[in-house]
Amino acid sequence: MNQQIGSFAILVNEYDEAIDFYTNKLSFDLLEDTDMGNGKRWVLVKPHGDGSCNILLAKAANEEQISRIGNQTGGRVFLFLYTDDFWRDYNIMVSKGIEFTEKPREEVYGTVVVFKDKYGNKWDFIQRK
């Protein structure tokens, strides 16, 4: 059996502001932006590089979804972004105004820091040992 997660959804307020954040602030690649009609779009981004899972930027469509924007995991770290050069990418992120919730630290598994995306979702940014 060979399985993988191809995509997962993150709730966002607006497509274009989400695309701007993920492509310009986090340097992700925009894979697709297809108009689905009635104000819906199929927008996929992914971290630059091979082997990454895609993120579907899903515009919240009702009050329940709107209430979950930025807090899809009840305040826990939601996503884990790995890098091959922590300090290079960390310094780029700092220069682009990414909000970090702590200072970088060394753990048994690698160098890590928590940051928030445009909506407040928490991410671990990690270079594994």
Instruction: With H, G, I as helix, E, B as strand and everything else as coil, classify residue 95.
Output: helix
pTM above 0.85, yes or no: yes
Which residues in the chain show pLDDT less than 70?
none
Q: Tokens standing for 1?
A: 């059996």
Q: Tokens standing for 88?
A: 């290079």
Give the structural domain span for 84: 70-129
Co-location of 89 and 114 in the same domain: yes
Looking at residue 2, its pLDDT comes to: 82
Co-location of 34 and 77 in the same domain: no
Which secondary structure element, helix H or strand E, spans residue 19, and what is its range? helix 15-20
Looking at residue 5, its pLDDT comes to: 87
Looking at residue 52, its pLDDT comes to: 75
Give me the number of domains the chain comprises: 2
Co-location of 82 and 108 in the same domain: yes
